[in-house]
Structure 1
Amino acid sequence: MHRPSSSRRNGHHVKFNTFGRTAAVTALAALALSGCAANEDTAAGGGSSESASELTGTLVGAGASSQQSAQEAWTTAFQTANPDVTIEYDPAGSGAGRDTFLAGGSAFAGSDRAFKDDEIAEGDFAACAPDTGIVEIPAYISPIAVIFNLEGIDTLNLDAATIAGIFNGSITTWNDEQIASQNPDAELPDTAITPVHRQDDSGTTENFTEYLGAAAPEVWTDEADGVWPLEGGEAASQTSGMIDAVTGGEGTVGYADASRAGDLGTVSVKVGEEYVPYSAEAAAAIVDASPMAEGRTEGDLAVEIDRTSEEAGVYPIVLVSYLIGCEEYTDPASAELVKAYFSYIVSEEGQQEAADAAGSAPISSDLFDKASAAIELIK
């Protein structure tokens, strides 16, 4: 059995409304779900309902820090509609979230990548009934912004090879010809470039390195991985740590969920013959243009992102962050709360809450139908 990874919270642990600070991973296993008798005719989400919700209990999740803002909005709305429910989500990172879910320390995980085939084959998902599968719902779609801190410059145009060269250390100053030639109107200083990468096992890192390897294979020769593959550079834990590190330096550059970019400079990425700035619409466009992973179960909706697409208006550095749960739980009360919460998140209302709070891209109607069918498998 996999053991939960430790996490460095650095004061950025998510704390929503009435529920308290998430305990250590060993305490996550205590879900305390008592007497959950759901009224299936009652709205489980954030909207008004004609009768009071009958859902009750505590639902524990852990995982992707990229989902932090969205989870905050989803939790607030869901708890408002279901006042006897407490939801605790620890944004410890995708790797820690998957490990915690594997060990049975949480009822669901958030992850910036789906489980791999071999991980599913070898995994002993402690919260799931024996010989049952998992559901993986691509519920949060967001561009990954290449962020930088360079005085007087708010945006840069860069192609994949240049981005890869910056992060592998072969491009070392901001006035390098590869950068300058794509930004003739920018007054670029000779400031040293300080690349920042995630220290923790991160789905954001895996998505970013997958893009670099697919779009610039001559420059970026390492395999996609949630653990940063190179030595050197500055390391930061979780999304909040990445933002702090880039903000606190001069000449720093990193990568993070675009919802957290704030006032930092951002890169428009070359796709075909145009430079495309990040946006929710461009992120949604690349997901809709990409195929589903082959060989998965009915409830496993893993997506294979086409990182090399040259279609107009797509942004290829995108993360699809998943909600991960069991098709069948050992505890029926867990199943009831997970099913209700997931259903709210993929709803039009839930997706709009995330878009408003985090700038994410609402899932398409086709993906909503697939997600709804997968959620119906939960029991």
Structure 2
Amino acid sequence: MNLSRFTRAGSAVAVGLLALSLTACGSDPEPAGSTGDESTEASDSGDMEGGLSGTLSGGGASSQEAAQNAWRAGFQTANPDATVNYDPVGSGGGRTGFGDGSYAFAGSDAALEDEELAAAEEQCGADGVIEFPGYVSPVAIAFNLEGVDTLNMSPETIANVFLGEITTWDDEAIAADNPDAELPDTAITVVHRSDESGTTENFEDYLYAVAPDIWTEEPSGVWPVDGQESAQGTSGVVSAAQAGDGTITYADASQIADLGTVAVGVGGDFVEYSSEAAAEVVAQSPRTEGTSEHIYTIELQRDIEGTYPIVLVSYMLACTTYSDEATAELVKGYMTYVASEEGQQAASDAAGSAPLSDTIRDAVVPGIESISAG
């Protein structure tokens, strides 16, 4: 196992309560192989109250940014000598950074693919990767259209809008689902992620599942339609949508600010996004079969009536084995807090996410508890 590039930090396990102060979320991760005393050496006072110390660096999904802020704050309150940095570089960057050892942990809006898993196993060892759903949130279809706050759209209409086949807001397909709305003839401007994104992959997976005759591109983290407006990260697409009249985008619902939203057609109803509707989709969707012991990924079902079908299940990535005890205990402590009832409630309060069910928590805790040095 080649774990020497992970940043060293920490000396005991603890969890804590939400705080008001934290280091900047955009802090750069500690470079691989760093030897700075402050970030790499564990404190000798490991038995003190809140005994973790040092710096832990992770990065990945920008959708997790608000939740990571809450987790970091709570964890650092319990461990005032510990610092957790999270760089919201996007899911693709997080998976790459975890696979090459730049990050000791990562967040990803999509499960690891075979090639990515192989890279992670080079860092963690065979069957040594931990992957669990730490953050569950609806993905909102958000728009900026003067005088309109909410609209209904069928799956077919959504697919045609994002393909660029429906080009104005007064199109008959949109009007048919919104007979009482005053729709202008404003041009529709689609805004998508420019970076490789798990949010993109989840949104494409939804379109591919519910409108396969229209959306024929297999899901990936890269947007397949050329010639549309794009922006970096969740905050980027939201800012771009806010900047122009007639725009539409997809983004983690916690970060859409004052944009209008689409109620999505499911069966015979139109369903607004909510954390409760997102949680129900996850609860009724099965665990992926054929994975190793500590990998808990979910096969989302996109057509369950009464639920909101565009759901982001964002995963936490860690190793069961690290090169030194300091790193292992700090990662173990942070992951314990993330998965705990307190940590999940902190994320829900900060980001409107859906807390993990007891069933999922009970399934992932043994993997977290197995983290050690080797």
User: Does the TM-score normalized on the shorter chain lie above 0.5?
Assistant: yes
Q: 2:267 aligns with which of 269, 272, 288?
A: 272
Q: 1:114 aligns with which of 111, 114, 139?
A: 111
Separation in 2, partners of 1:36, 1:29: 19
Pick closer, same or farther for the CA change 1:21–1:260 going to 2, 3 Å: closer
Counterpart of 1:97 in 2: which secondary structure? Answer: helix
Separation in 2, partners of 1:26, 1:227: 27
Counterpart of 1:79 in 2: which secondary structure? Answer: helix
| Cα drift, residue 21 of structure 1 | 5.5
Q: 2:297 aligns with which of 298, 302, 309?
A: 302
- Tell me which residue corresponds to 1:35: 42
- Tell me which residue corresponds to 1:180: 175
Preserved CA contact (<8 Å) 1:57 1:84:
yes
- Tell me which residue corresponds to 1:134: 129
Query: Do residues 262 (structure 1) and 257 (structure 2) align?
Result: yes
Q: Deviations over 1:102-153 (max 9, x none)?
A: 1100100001011023432x3255542x434200110100000000000000
- Residue identity opposite 2:27 in structure 1: T
Query: Do residues 92 (structure 1) and 89 (structure 2) align?
Result: yes
- Tell me which residue corresponds to 2:49: 52
Query: Do residues 83 (structure 1) and 80 (structure 2) align?
Result: yes
Q: 1:17 aligns with which of 10, 22, 28?
A: 22
Q: 2:60 aligns with which of 60, 63, 66?
A: 63
Between the aligned residues of both structures, percent identity stands at: 53
Pick closer, same or farther for the CA change 1:316–1:37 going to 2, 3 Å: farther
Separation in 2, partners of 1:67, 1:38: 32
Separation in 2, partners of 1:188, 1:38: 65
Across the aligned residues of Structure 1 and Structure 2, the Cα RMSD in angstroms comes to 2.0
TM-score (normalizing by structure 1): 0.88
- Residue identity opposite 2:50 in structure 1: S
Separation in 1, partners of 2:33, 2:181: 53
- Tell me which residue corresponds to 1:123: 119
- Residue identity opposite 1:234 in structure 2: E
| Cα drift, residue 30 of structure 1 | 2.9
- Tell me which residue corresponds to 2:347: 354
The unaligned stretches of length 5 or more in structure 2 are 3-20
- Tell me which residue corresponds to 2:69: 72
- Tell me which residue corresponds to 2:361: 368
Q: 2:224 aligns with which of 217, 229, 234?
A: 229
Separation in 1, partners of 2:146, 2:24: 40
| Cα drift, residue 54 of structure 1 | 1.4
Q: 1:153 aligns with which of 148, 151, 155?
A: 148
- Residue identity opposite 1:134 in structure 2: V
Separation in 1, partners of 2:244, 2:212: 29
| Cα drift, residue 22 of structure 1 | 2.5
The unaligned stretches of length 5 or more in structure 1 are 2-15, 43-50
Counterpart of 1:164 in 2: which secondary structure? Answer: helix
Separation in 2, partners of 1:351, 1:179: 37
Preserved CA contact (<8 Å) 1:214 1:307:
yes
Q: Deviations over 1:200-254 (max 9, x none)?
A: 0000000000000000001101010101111111011000101000000110000
| Cα drift, residue 97 of structure 1 | 0.6
Counterpart of 1:148 in 2: which secondary structure? Answer: strand
Query: Do residues 189 (structure 1) and 184 (structure 2) align?
Result: yes
Preserved CA contact (<8 Å) 2:121 2:127:
no
Separation in 1, partners of 2:211, 2:217: 11
Separation in 2, partners of 1:375, 1:258: 28
- Tell me which residue corresponds to 2:315: 322
TM-score (normalizing by structure 2): 0.89
- Residue identity opposite 1:253 in structure 2: I
Pick closer, same or farther for the CA change 1:145–1:241 going to 2, 3 Å: same
Q: How does 1:274-289 map to 2 (within 5 A)?
A: 274-289=269-284
| Cα drift, residue 56 of structure 1 | 1.1
